[in-house]
Amino acid sequence: MSRDNEIYALVIAGTVDIQGMVALRPDPDMQSVFVSWMVAAPHNNHDLVEQQKYYGVGGHLFAVAIQKSVEYGFGGAITGFASSEEKLKHYIKWFDAIPIGILHPYHLAIAGEAARKVVETYEYHWSDDQL
């Protein structure tokens, strides 16, 4: 599975401290980028710590996926599976995700205007540096 994915790390400019990571792969059948997995660093994961170091890591990782979707010619459309019903509801509320439930009960999509809003809200500066 990892051989089929592009893996990106989110870092604070000027550091190599990873704040989150996302694995993506183009999905021509769905005309989107599939988010195979994404994870916040433990110190940014509200499921693991009471006080996160940085907020918005997930939104920034979605923004990376959306930008890669644009580069692949899919117009910013992304799909993936939420890890739980609670996460799916979170993504619907905060990112206007659409539950599609095609391949998994928590299968979701973010596209169109919702994708544009994510990219506008979660700005980042791209670097091709390798960690």
Q: What is the pLDDT of residue 2?
A: 60
Backbone angle region of 18, left / alpha / beta, with phi > 0 → left and psi within -120 to 50 → alpha? beta
Q: What is the bridge-based pairing of β-strands 107-110 and 78-81?
A: antiparallel
The answer to whether residue 66 sits within a structural domain is yes
CB-based contact 73:30 (threshold 8 Å)? no
- For the entire predicted model, the pTM comes to 0.91
Its domain, for residue 114, covers 2-121
Map tokens 């999509």 to a residue: 109
The answer to whether residue 70 sits within a structural domain is yes
Q: What is the pLDDT of residue 11?
A: 92
The answer to whether residue 52 sits within a structural domain is yes
CB-based contact 125:13 (threshold 8 Å)? yes
Indicate the number of domains in the chain: 1
Q: What is the pLDDT of residue 81?
A: 97
The answer to whether residue 91 sits within a structural domain is yes
Q: Provide the sign of the torsion angle of the four alpha carbons 75, 76, 80, 84, taken in this order.
A: negative
The answer to whether residue 127 sits within a structural domain is no
Nearest-CA neighbor of 46 among 73, 86, 106, 14?
86
CATH of the domain at 32: 3.40.630.30
The answer to whether residue 128 sits within a structural domain is no
Per-residue pLDDT of the chain (131 residues; tens, 9 = 90+): 467 899 999 998 888 899 999 999 999 999 999 999 999 999 999 889 999 999 999 999 999 999 999 999 999 999 999 999 999 999 999 999 999 988 899 999 999 999 999 999 998 777 776 66
Please tell me the distance from the alpha carbon of residue 107 to that of residue 5, in angstroms, as a whole number.
Answer: 18
